[in-house]
């Protein structure tokens, strides 16, 4: 028995959309890198190890909570697009500034450019209709 196109698309949302899938994977990896950069920046703010760990974890936790509440695909609150983009700019853009703050300006610039391109492509892909196989 042959599956209908709608059933195939529902079973595999990336079918026929390899660039969308690649961009979503990049978005996930950028989010993980952002969390690591924010932790590292928070960790660098003090001299005492206990305080460093506390600050690193606090910055990390704040970013995770903010993202989970407003920017995640299954966010608890779904603000308008401008609000989601503001949270993404704060967390992802903040991670580029954090990377700069710990002494890696070139990596910060690369991260910032990747974040902007990825976010622009994500919004473009969301507005396009998926091709029917």
Share of residues in the chain with pLDDT > 70 (%): 83
pTM of the model: 0.80
Q: How many domains does the chain have?
A: 1
- Domain assignment present for residue 75? The answer is yes
pLDDT attached to residue 37: 97
- Domain assignment present for residue 10? The answer is no
pLDDT of residue 95 exceeding 60, the answer is yes
Q: Is the dihedral of CA 52, 58, 61, 67 positive or negative?
A: negative
- Domain assignment present for residue 23? The answer is yes
pLDDT of residue 7 exceeding 60, the answer is no
Domain region containing 69: 18-127
Which tens digit of pLDDT belongs to each residue from 97-115?
Answer: 999 999 999 999 999 999 9
Which tens digit of pLDDT belongs to each residue from 24-70?
Answer: 999 999 999 999 999 999 999 999 999 999 999 999 999 999 999 99
- Domain assignment present for residue 2? The answer is no
Averaged pLDDT score across all residues of the chain: 86
Task: Tell me how far CA of residue 2 lies from CA of 7, 11, 14, 111, 131, in angstroms.
Answer: 10, 14, 19, 44, 19
pLDDT attached to residue 94: 95
Which tens digit of pLDDT belongs to each residue from 12-21?
Answer: 555 567 888 8
Identify the DSSP state of 74: T
> What whole-number distance in Å separates Cα of residue 78 and Cα of residue 29?
22
- Domain assignment present for residue 108? The answer is yes
| C-alpha 9: how far from chain center | 25
């Amino acid at each position: 028995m042959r599956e209908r196109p709608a059933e195939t698309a529902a079973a595999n949302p990336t079918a026929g959309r390899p660039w969308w899938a690649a961009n979503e994977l990049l978005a996930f990896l950028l989010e993980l890198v952002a969390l690591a950069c924010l932790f590292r920046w928070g960790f660098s703010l003090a001299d005492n190890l206990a305080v460093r760990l506390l600050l690193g974890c606090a910055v990390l936790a704040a970013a995770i909570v903010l993202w989970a509440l407003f920017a995640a695909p299954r966010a608890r609150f779904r603000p308008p697009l401008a609000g989601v983009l503001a949270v993404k700019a704060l967390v992802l853009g903040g991670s580029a500034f954090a990377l700069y703050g710990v002494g890696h300006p070139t990596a910060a610039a690369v991260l910032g450019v990747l974040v902007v391109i990825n976010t622009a492509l994500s919004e473009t892909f969301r507005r396009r209709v998926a091709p029917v196989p």
